């Protein structure tokens, strides 16, 4: 906790118990993860080894390879053993080996190499894959060190034109206006695509496609803006959906700072199969951990489908679970941007105090995590003046409780896609609140037994009760009964289940092994 900051009384034993229960939940799922792979994971490993490009029909080579292995029912051995076999058989490069697997007529699917020989053949390529991530991280950190970093909460804005070149211009404009973080919203429903589009894109509904080239373009734009305006601008995108591991790898090698990456978001809000999601999120986070990227989890979304007063404890319970999953994937606390939101009905008496209680509770329980604080959306209407005040109250809670990352509310959000001028006014208003109330949290105390303290204790108690049930029944069953976000999913339902494969006894994945080591 920040020195001198006001606190609410919390029972440390209850907090510790919540972490124990979340760890048990994550351990149960980890046993499943360790026995399975997915088409998305295997495509990611191909990309990491150096496979790139599309065929004459515009289909990614990595998709062609994995689809062929899946059709032959041999993907459970892992793509690496087949790549190594092609290299041993005369392929001139990793790319050549992949193209042989994708399009060759003489591929031997029955007798690939042993895991030991596969590891030996691929060893230099695995080293090169990790070096590429490390080099990108080194460049990012070295550049960041040359510039001052803005105080928290970092002001986070989004751009979403559909055209990556327009996004680049808007990113630089946002940086000029004082944004600390710029996120490019993905095109609508990209999370449901079981492939990653290739190259720069100039059309997209509701956002811009996440591609490696698009990442590179925005990274160049934010770096240019950082140098010009004298403060470091962080770049964010989305590592979620059916290609979350592939996108994590692309972000790792293009030097992104943050990724929206949640253990359960895709299950609940995109109806992606839970088995697929749990495996993919683990592998995606292994790349994220290596790259030093900060994740943003999606607990704020629970409050768009469930009541923010009655179900506040589900946010906290999910944060504990997301933390437990992230720890198993090698992330440090400083990389876990756990999410929550300002979504209580503003007409409720003392709703502002309830919002403070929730924000203060999360800040205290996760003191070293870069908490991500999301703006009100659920109760916004076309009244832009009321919305501007609503956002100002949200910003006040953010600075009082010392949130880390604050996505700025847009007063016009319920009217149209926010314009550049709308973002400018939002940044201006947020900067005003953050500056004039900078040390307010150090000057106040929360009365024991008062509204804020009592609410925080209640939410913690309810989260503990919920986690006891999730640990008892397993998260599979908990999701099935709608424990998170009032949304129910089944273990074998949802999109992408056919892409989950049990690992064979001789499965080999030296890239993942190196990340885990």
Q: Which residues are catalytic?
A: 265, 300, 372
Cβ neighbours around 322 below 10 Å, total = 27
DSSP 80-148: HHHHHHHHHTT-SSHHHHHHHHHH-S---SS----HHHHHHHHHHHHHHHHHHHHHHHHHHHHHHHTS-
Rounded CA gap, 363 and 162, in Å? 35
Contact indicator for 366, 358 with CB cutoff of 8 Å: no
Q: How buried is 192 (Cβ within 10 angstroms: 0-12 exposed, 13-18 middle, 19+ buried)?
A: middle
Contact, 232 vs 245, CB < 8 A?
no
Assess whether the previous peptide bond of 153 is cis (omega < 30° from 0).
yes
Strand order in the sheet with 234-238: 336-337, 294-296, 258-260, 234-238, 181-184, 154-159, 405-407, 372-374, 339-341
Separation CA 362–CA 366 (nearest Å): 6
Q: How far apart are CA 292 and CA 288, in angstroms?
A: 6
What DSSP character marks residue 271? -
Residue 299 DSSP class: G
- Beta strand 234-238 with 154-159 is unpaired
What DSSP string runs through 479-515?
HHTTTTTT----SS-SBTGGGEEEPPTT---HHHHHH
DSSP H helices in 329-383: 351-365
Closest CA to 207 of 234, 240, 254: 240
Q: What angle do CA 365, 484, 488 make, to 5 degrees?
A: 165
- Is 248:471 a contact under the CB 8 Å cutoff? no
Q: In which residue are the tokens 């990653």 written? A: 196
Q: Where on the phi/psi map is residue 58: left (φ > 0), alpha (ψ -120 to 50), or beta?
A: left
């Amino acid at each position: 906790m920040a020195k001198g900051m006001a606190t609410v009384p919390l029972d440390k034993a209850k907090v510790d118990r919540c972490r124990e229960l979340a760890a048990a939940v994550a351990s149960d799922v980890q046993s499943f993860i360790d026995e399975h792979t997915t088409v998305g994971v295997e495509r990611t490993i191909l990309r990491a080894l150096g496979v790139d490009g599309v065929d004459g029909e515009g289909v990614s080579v990595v998709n062609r390879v994995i689809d062929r292995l899946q059709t032959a029912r041999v993907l459970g051995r892992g793509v690496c053993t087949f790549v190594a076999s092609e290299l041993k058989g005369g392929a001139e490069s990793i790319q050549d080996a992949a193209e042989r697997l994708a399009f060759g007529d003489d591929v031997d699917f029955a007798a690939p190499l042993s895991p030991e020989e596969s590891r030996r053949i691929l060893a230099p390529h695995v080293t090169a894959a990790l070096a590429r991530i490390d080099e990108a991280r080194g460049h990012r950190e070295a550049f960041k060190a040359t510039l001052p970093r803005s105080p928290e909460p970092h002001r986070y804005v989004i751009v979403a034109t559909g055209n990556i070149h327009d996004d680049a211009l808007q990113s630089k404009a946002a940086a000029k206006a004082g944004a600390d973080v710029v996120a490019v919203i993905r095109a609508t429903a990209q999370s449901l695509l079981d492939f990653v589009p290739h190259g720069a894109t100039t059309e997209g509904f509701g956002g811009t496609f996440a591609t490696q080239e698009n990442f590179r373009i925005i990274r160049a734009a934010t770096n240019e803006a950082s140098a010009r305006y004298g403060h470091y601008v962080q770049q964010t995108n989305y590592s979620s959906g059916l290609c979350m591991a592939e996108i994590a790898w692309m972000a790792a090698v293009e030097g992104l700072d943050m990724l929206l990456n949640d253990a359960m978001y895709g299950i609940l809000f995109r109806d992606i199969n839970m088995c697929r999601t749990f495996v993919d999120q683990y592998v995606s986070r292994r790349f994220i951990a290596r790259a030093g990227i900060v994740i943003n989890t999606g607990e704020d979304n629970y409050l768009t489908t469930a009541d923010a007063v009655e179900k506040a404890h589900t946010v906290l319970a999910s944060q504990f679970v997301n933390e437990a999953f992230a720890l198993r994937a090698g992330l440090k606390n400083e990389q876990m941007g756990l999410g929550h939101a300002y979504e209580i009905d503003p007409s409720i008496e003392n709703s502002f105090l309830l919002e403070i209680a929730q924000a203060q509770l999360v800040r205290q329980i996760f003191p070293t995590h870069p908490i991500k604080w999301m703006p009100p959306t659920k109760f916004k209407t076309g009244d832009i003046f009321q919305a501007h005040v609503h956002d100002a109250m949200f910003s006040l809670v953010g600075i009082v409780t010392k949130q880390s990352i604050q996505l700025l509310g847009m007063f016009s959000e319920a009217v149209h896609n926010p314009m550049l001028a709308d973002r400018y006014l939002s940044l201006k208003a947020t900067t005003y609140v953050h500056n004039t109330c900078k040390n307010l949290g150090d000057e106040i105390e929360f009365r024991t037994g008062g509204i804020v303290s009592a609410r925080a204790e209640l939410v913690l108690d309810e989260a503990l009760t919920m986690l006891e049930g999730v640990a008892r029944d397993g998260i599979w069953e908990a999701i099935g009964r709608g424990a998170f976000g009032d949304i129910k999913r089944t273990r074998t339902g949802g999109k992408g289940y056919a892409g989950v494969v049990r690992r064979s006894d001789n499965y080999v994945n030296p890239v993942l092994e190196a990340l885990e080591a």
